Amino acid sequence: MITIALEKDSKGIIRELRTSGHGVSYKGVSISCALVTAGVKNFGKTLAMRNSLEITGSSTGPGDLTLRIGFYPENEVCWILGVQELFETLLGDAVSSFPLDVDIQESIEKGELHGS
């Protein structure tokens, strides 16, 4: 099972994203793992192209990815939410296509660090 934990701020922006676990292998390949991994990496790379955003990421090994959005200026909120909407659509497709392999958990962040 791949667990995707999304921590969002009050504006709905993902501040921390953590993935852990693996999906079931179909004919030697885990399509759900590939889908989630590619989605997370591309979400992070797209955000990192904006110099005004503070983005960090790490991995302790296969099946474990963490992405954090630190500071972001207020004028980037709409852009971030647009990119995030595409990413969350991909995650929704992963859940509907592989309901036994992918689980998403969301929470709202308590201490926020966004720009003003």
The yes/no answer on whether domain 2-106 falls in CATH 3.30.70.1490 is: yes
What pLDDT, in 10s, does the model give residues 5-30?
Answer: 999 999 999 999 999 988 888 888 88
- Record the pTM: 0.84
Residue 109: CB atoms within 10 Å:
15
pLDDT digits (tens, 9 = 90+) for 54-90: 999 998 888 888 999 999 999 999 999 999 999 999 9
What per-residue string of b and e applies to 24-33 under the rule 16 or more CB within 10 Å gives b? eeeeeebbbb
Who contacts 100 (Cβ-Cβ below 8 Å, separation ≥6)? Answer: 1, 24
Read off the pLDDT band of 111 (50, 70, 90): low
Give the per-residue pLDDT at 116.
31
Domain ranges in the chain are 2-106
Report the pLDDT value the prediction gives residue 78, as an integer from 0 to 100. Answer: 96
Q: What is the mean pLDDT of residues 94-103?
A: 93
Q: What residues are paired with 105 via a beta bridge? A: 5
Rounded-to-integer distance, Cα 72 and Cα 59, Å = 23
Give residue 61's pLDDT. Answer: 85
State how beta strands 2-8 and 64-69 pair. Answer: unpaired
